[in-house]
């Protein structure tokens, strides 16, 4: 567990974005939905929220793949930072809609996790480029 003051990289979000950037939205959406269901079963907060957020992240990363060169590390890291913040806001809004309270992760998680995700996707992308395309 890589948590530090409540902030940890979201490896399943990172892998979902990376698969969407490298292979396309459909495969990433299937993987993101399955991983999201796993996350939703593992924690009993708002069932279905993680599956929806990871599926939407895969879809929008696939859309961004057509507009932006996501093979470049900088654009992939920037996209990951934006999608992480969007995921936090989406999780909060889903909580607001269904449980009548904004699901707040805390300032440390909001400010640090996107950059941890960017570092994780940079490492995962480098590994994918070395071993994944054979």
Q: From residue 55, how far is each of 9, 11, 50, 112, 123 by CA, in Å?
A: 18, 15, 8, 23, 22
Report pLDDT for 92.
92
For 106-119, how does the pLDDT look when each residue is reduced to its tens digit (9 = 90+)? 888 899 999 999 99
Output the pTM of the full model: 0.90
Question: What is the percent of the chain with per-residue pLDDT over 90, rounded to a whole number?
Answer: 68
| Average pLDDT across the chain, whole number | 90
């Amino acid at each position: 567990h890589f948590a530090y003051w409540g902030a940890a990289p979201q490896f399943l979000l990172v892998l979902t974005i990376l698969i969407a950037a490298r292979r396309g939205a459909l495969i990433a959406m299937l993987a993101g939905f399955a991983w999201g269901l796993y996350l939703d079963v593992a924690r009993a907060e708002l069932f279905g929220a993680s599956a929806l957020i990871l599926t939407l992240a895969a879809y929008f990363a696939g859309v961004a793949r057509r507009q932006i060169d996501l093979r470049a590390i900088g654009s992939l890291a920037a996209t990951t930072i934006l999608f992480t913040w969007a995921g936090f806001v989406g999780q909060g809004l889903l909580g607001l809609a269904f449980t009548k309270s904004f699901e707040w992760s805390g300032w440390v998680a909001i400010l640090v996790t996107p950059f941890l995700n960017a570092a994780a996707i940079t490492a995962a992308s480098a590994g994918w480029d070395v071993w994944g395309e054979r």
